[in-house]
Amino acid sequence: MKKIATFAAVFAFILLLTKIANQVPPPPLPGVAFSLMAQRVVECSPTDITLIDTHDTETHLEKDSSWPPCSTFEKGEVLDFFLSRGAKTRFLSDEKTVWWRKAM
């Protein structure tokens, strides 16, 4: 009887560990899209860009050739950026932030 109980306990423990392991999300792969909402451009150069959000958190990104010229970003304009990960950050698109997101 002890052997059966031990076997059942080990089997249940393995099932529990499997369930926990399956709940952990995998790390993002290169090329996975992400977005940065309500960002202002603080610094911009041909190779990198620094953005700041409404909570004054800076994000520094290395740019690839897909980014528009720095002159397209107006000072103080709040934008939502849609980007892609890789060796360098790829620009997909941007749009003006909606009014209620600026206040958050």
Its CATH architecture, for the domain 33-102, is Beta Barrel (2.40)
Whether pLDDT at 104 is above 80: no
Of residues 79 and 104, the one with the higher pLDDT is: 79
Of residues 65 and 99, the one with the higher pLDDT is: 65
For residue range 29-40, list pLDDT tens digits in order. Answer: 666 788 999 999
Give residue 31's pLDDT. Answer: 67
Whether pLDDT at 14 is above 80: yes
What distances in angstroms separate CA 54 from CA 38, 39, 49, 58, 65, one per listed residue?
Answer: 7, 7, 17, 10, 27
For residue range 50-80, list pLDDT tens digits in order. Answer: 999 988 999 999 999 999 999 999 888 999 9
Domain boundaries, the chain: 33-102
